């Protein structure tokens, strides 16, 4: 059975070198590599004689060296990203992109700016202003777009007035936990995590905390979060409770929000922070409140 593990370019080139020298190669891995790089194995092995050596190792005699040269030229192209190679094979998600980007805005610079970080961890801030002392990572796009509403949440989350000048970073889903973002986050003195009060938000905060080389983290939540969770119609599964317990045990920033989710058995979408609290709502709505 052929392994699903991707074969790197240097390893495949090594197989080709061994074939040219008449040395044994792992047969199934050779075939997998040819398929992975979009090459027809029959074109290489046509007219050759196969001899089994041991286990999966075989030798081929009569290899067409011209085909070997063509394959080397095809495989040895050094692209900026391995994702380019995989895209040519119709499976780009099997490789990482060559960098990441983070969108940032603030009260002092409300127009969103993009910061680029490449695989060498070089930061290109372009026209973005110098980083503020503090940053708040906003998980959901609606909260990022509603700058006024998001800034209004900060006092409810127990943040001092200085946080009104914080950089608001948009980090959808797990992308904000990409290790390439580490130097960007290290520019700040403190980081607030305005994540959804749900298992996914707790997991993201835990992932960042476990990195161990970031500024102090706060998992932000309004003071009335217990009431909001009690009124929520969205519940967590048993397996999620077990994961919450792990995150809470090893990551102090997750204790408060994670503990409330664990206690109530409920969770919320982050966008619900932009609607009235349960005490002023007349009845539950589609958001779960």
Distance (Å, rounded) from C-alpha 197 to C-alpha 98?
A: 31
3-state secondary structure of 119: coil
What is the pLDDT confidence band of residue 262, given thresholds at 50, 70 and 90? Answer: very high
Contact 287, 275 (CB under 8 A): yes
The pairing of beta strand 25-26 with beta strand 57-61: antiparallel
Alpha-carbon gap, residue 190 to 136, rounded angstroms: 9
How far is the CA of 84 from the CAs of 60, 62, 94, 175, in angstroms?
A: 31, 33, 11, 20
Domain range list for the chain: 9-94, 99-274
User: In this structure, are residues 188 and 214 in contact, taking their beta carbons and an 8 Å threshold?
Assistant: no
> Higher-confidence residue: 74 or 61?
61
User: DSSP letter at 7?
Assistant: P
Mean per-residue pLDDT, 164-190: 88
pLDDT at 282: 47
Q: What is the pLDDT of residue 185?
A: 93
- Mean per-residue pLDDT for 111-125? 85
In whole angstroms, give the CA distance from residue 50 to residue 257: 63
Rounded CA-CA distance 71/61 in Å is 17
Q: What is the mean pLDDT of residues 132-161?
A: 94
Which pLDDT belongs to residue 85? Answer: 57
pLDDT tens digits for 90-117? 555 555 666 788 899 999 999 999 888 8
Span 190-202, pLDDT tens digits: 999 999 999 999 9
Contact predicate 250/205, CB 8 Å: no
Query: Which has more pLDDT, 280 or 145?
Result: 145
If you average pLDDT over every residue of the chain, what do you get? Answer: 85
Q: What is the mean pLDDT of residues 259-284?
A: 76
Q: Specify whether domain 99-274 bears CATH 3.40.109.
A: no
pLDDT value at 75 more than 90: no
Flag whether pLDDT at 167 surpasses 70. Answer: yes
- For residues 243 and 236, what is the distance between their CA atoms, to the nearest angstrom? 11
Measured distance CA(206)–CA(199) in Å, rounded: 10
**Predicted local confidence at residue 206, as pLDDT:** 94
- Mean pLDDT, residues 12-27: 90
């Amino acid at each position: 059975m052929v392994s699903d593990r991707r074969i790197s370019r240097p390893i495949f080139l090594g197989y080709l070198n061994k074939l040219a020298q008449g040395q044994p190669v792992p047969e199934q891995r050779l075939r997998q590599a040819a398929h992975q790089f979009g090459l027809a194995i029959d074109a290489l092995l046509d007219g050759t004689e196969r001899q089994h050596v041991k286990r999966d190792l075989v030798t081929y005699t009569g290899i067409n060296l011209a085909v070997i040269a063509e394959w080397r030229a095809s495989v040895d192209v050094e692209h900026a990203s391995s994702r380019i190679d995989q895209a040519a094979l119709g499976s780009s998600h099997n490789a990482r992109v060559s960098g990441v980007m983070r969108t940032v805005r603030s009260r002092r610079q409300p127009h969103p700016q993009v910061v680029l970080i490449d695989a060498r961890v070089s930061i290109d801030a372009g026209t973005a202003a110098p980083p503020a002392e503090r940053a708040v990572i906003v998980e959901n796009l609606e909260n990022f777009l509603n700058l006024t509403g998001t800034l209004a949440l900060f006092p409810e989350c127990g943040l001092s007035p200085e946080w009104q000048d914080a950089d608001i970073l948009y980090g959808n889903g797990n992308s904000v936990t990409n290790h390439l973002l580490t130097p960007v986050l290290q520019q700040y003195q403190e980081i607030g995590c305005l994540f959804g009060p749900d298992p996914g938000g707790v997991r993201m905060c835990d992932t960042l905390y476990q990195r161990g080389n970031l500024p102090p983290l706060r998992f932000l939540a309004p003071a009335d979060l217990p009431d909001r969770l009690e009124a929520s119609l969205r519940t967590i599964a048993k397996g999620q409770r077990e994961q919450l317990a792990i995150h809470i045990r090893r990551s102090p920033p997750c204790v408060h929000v994670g503990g409330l989710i664990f206690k109530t058995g409920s969770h919320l979408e982050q966008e619900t922070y932009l609607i009235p609290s349960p005490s002023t709502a007349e009845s539950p709505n589609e958001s779960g409140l």
